[in-house]
Structure 1
Amino acid sequence: MRDRVAFLFLGETLLIPHLFPIVEALGDLAPDLPQDLWVSTSMHEALIGGWLAERPHAPIRIRRAPGFRTVAVDDGTNPPLPPKLPMLARLAPRLARVPVAVCAEQTSLWLPRLLPFLPTRFVKTSHGVGSMSARDDRRRRAAWHTLVPSERERRTYLQRGMPPERIVATGYVKAGFRQRSYAKPEFAEDRPVLLYNPHWQQHRSSWWQWGQQVVRRVLAEGRWNLIFAPHQRLVERAPEVRALCEELKGRGDTHCDYQSFAAVDGSYTAAADLYLGDTSSQLLEFLVRPRPCVFLNAGGAAWRQDPSYAMWVAGEVVDNLDGLLPALSRAGTEHPRFADAQAALASDSLGDTSGAAPARAASEILRVLAGRHAG
């Protein structure tokens, strides 16, 4: 079995910024080590291929996974994906010839869980952080090595009985992603920028109860430029998101994005002055640089005693839609009251955000590769 590392870019484009920085770092640490980047669509191929042009002589190749789908390439729009399980089943014999495979989602871990005889060692790196991460998913235990951002996150896995030698805190890999789409959307007037970022799962989201009213009330108030950038998967379950964005197209105070790569590459969390949301882990990316936040408790959760809502210590929580605009209006002056909690939350959840995490993750992959030979 030749030394080679496979990276699985098979899921949504939101996973790319959690994986590609490790590809780059591994290329720097081990420039002669071949890497296979398995992609599921031509969108993934176009994005990653453009960045690899900076490394024309590196032994890094993009490979089309079985069932690869050609899609219209349009500014990184999240594409329709091929069925994942059949793709993985057909990919398994090829991965069996590779010592180490790296993924950022649980679905790929069906391979080592269902095929424990597969010689490939799977390294799982985190893509979602925060108090609602699904840490108890049984597939996670099939990973040979799990990379998490922070020591606090590591402890949550150890408390579930995961082997301590296989759980490593590296820092937040996405903080090292260099290929953001742009620094800030263009607006007609210079106003504070508000990011509304509802979650895609109904039990976690403010969208179904309040979402459209939130957008309309914010715009009617006329005090903010709005970036409406929900989770990419929200439109799958709430097609009215697409209709609302079409309705708002052309407004100088609104930037709607429910599917492009910019919605997941860190562009909007970096550009906004104020965060409005519910339970998305993008809040934690926003808090790398603490700023005002407001949270929408549209479902009436008893959140104060529920660890799933631990992130709501970072700002005012709105329990009634009529409290939305007053909370947004005072968010700036109220921010000092939450600033220390925000900084602690970001540090505890994300660990090191200096950009050094990809190199640590790459070092861990090399360690797993070396152990594969020793074992």
Structure 2
Amino acid sequence: MDIAFLAIAEAQQLYHWLPAALELARRPDLRVSVLSPSDAILDLVAGYDPDGLLLRKRLKRPPFSPPDSLFRQPSRLATLLLNYRAIARFPAIVTTEISTAWLRRVPGFASRLILIKHGAGDREGGYKSRHADFDLTLVAGKKDRRRMIERGLCAPDSVAVGGYAKFELMAQRQRFFPDDAPVLLYNPHFDAELSSWVRHGPEVLAALESLEGWNVIVAPHTKLAARVPPIATAAPHIRVDMGSRHSIDMSYTVSADAYLGDVSSQVYEFLLRPRPCIFLNLDRRDAGGEAFAHWRLGQVIEDMSDLPAALARASDVQPAYEAAQLAAMRDSIDQSPIPASRRQADIIETFAKARS
């Protein structure tokens, strides 16, 4: 059986599907291809596949595409239409982005579409009408399965909990500064309505530059990094990363001592090991809904002048949040002793063979 993994998104999504693709490729009677218009993405895949288990296929790049890179990909819709024949010949197509659902609009399209939903966050933007166009959806935990069903985006038998396979490719803890000061990770999201950076960037940066006793990693979501001017600072205790392997392979979330953010699902990657979290509500939003459920996992501040005090008491108040952090992780990301890659592969293989 032929199964295709469609890699038309930016590199940060690769870590959510690659472990399952590699697991499937090890199994008899399965041939797994990775389809991408990006040599950079295919080279990154090859770096995790030294035995060449995956068949890497370069799709045609639409005209006027940006230069090939890990973080800027051609128009997804244009890529789908230009490569329709090459994509549609696969009976089962796995992806982590919902643009692929547009293939449903092409007359005669008969492939089964399987979505591995990337991330495990709470933001309402993670639930779109196109999610309903997939034949099978894999989510990280019970929370996402429950919400997908409640919103009518999946029937109970078309959404399954498969865990968070990205944890299997995460980087090791690293030292990014020459001294032993604790490290704060600032991770603003790209959503212009919710991001702490879009409206408050200068204020946030000034507060981080004046911070004493801490090193700071500023690593915005790669989509935000592609949309805003480069963040620049001469402060020696600040490391800015506008898009690198470190920014997507969990190098920073495993290496930081405290987390500063807004609505990014990376907070759940950080909480793989419970640690202090601080959330920025600089627009003073009503955060009572489930879209801000993670704000109950740490301190929430409404003014950047409150950051030094929040950091000073972070260790002391962390025990009060730890039970909630552990409970939120259990709900958001199912951490079975069976690797997520194997669980996802089992679900995909069973589904694909049942409909072949």
> Structure 2-normalised TM-score?
0.93
Alignment of 1:1-375 (within 5 A): 3-28=1-26, 30-52=27-49, 54-56=50-52, 58=53, 60-67=54-61, 71=67, 78-112=70-104, 114-115=105-106, 117-161=108-152, 162-178=154-170, 180=171, 183-239=173-229, 242=230, 244-245=231-232, 247-248=233-234, 252-303=236-287, 305-352=288-335, 356-373=339-356
For structure 1, list consecutive stretches of 5 or more residues without a partner in the other structure.
none
Q: Which amino acid aligns with 1:86?
A: A
For structure 2, list consecutive stretches of 5 or more residues without a partner in the other structure.
none
SS at match of 2:125: coil
* CA distance in 1 between partners of 2:85 and 2:197 (Å): 42
SS at match of 1:204: coil
Contact 1:218–1:325 under 8 Å retained in 2: no
Q: Which amino acid aligns with 1:35?
A: V
Give the C-alpha shift of residue 177 in structure 1.
2.0
**What whole-Å deviation, never above 9, does each CA across 1:306-337 have from its counterpart, x for those lacking one?**
22111100111001222121112111111011
* CA distance in 1 between partners of 2:181 and 2:14 (Å): 31
SS at match of 1:233: helix
Q: Which amino acid aligns with 1:87?
A: T
* CA distance in 2 between partners of 1:294 and 1:265 (Å): 22
Q: 1:44 to 1:16 in 2, by over 3 A?
A: same
Give the C-alpha shift of residue 222 in structure 1.
2.3
Structure 1: 4+ residue segments shifted above 4 A: 68-72
* CA distance in 2 between partners of 1:121 and 1:349 (Å): 26
Give the C-alpha shift of residue 201 in structure 1.
1.3
Q: Which amino acid aligns with 2:114?
A: V
Contact 1:206–1:296 under 8 Å retained in 2: yes
Same amino acid, percent of matched pairs: 31
Q: 1:185 to 1:213 in 2, by over 3 A?
A: farther
Contact 1:226–1:254 under 8 Å retained in 2: yes
* CA distance in 1 between partners of 2:100 and 2:89 (Å): 16
* CA distance in 1 between partners of 2:166 and 2:124 (Å): 16
SS at match of 2:35: strand
SS at match of 1:66: coil
| Aligned residues between the structures | 353
* CA distance in 2 between partners of 1:49 and 1:198 (Å): 30
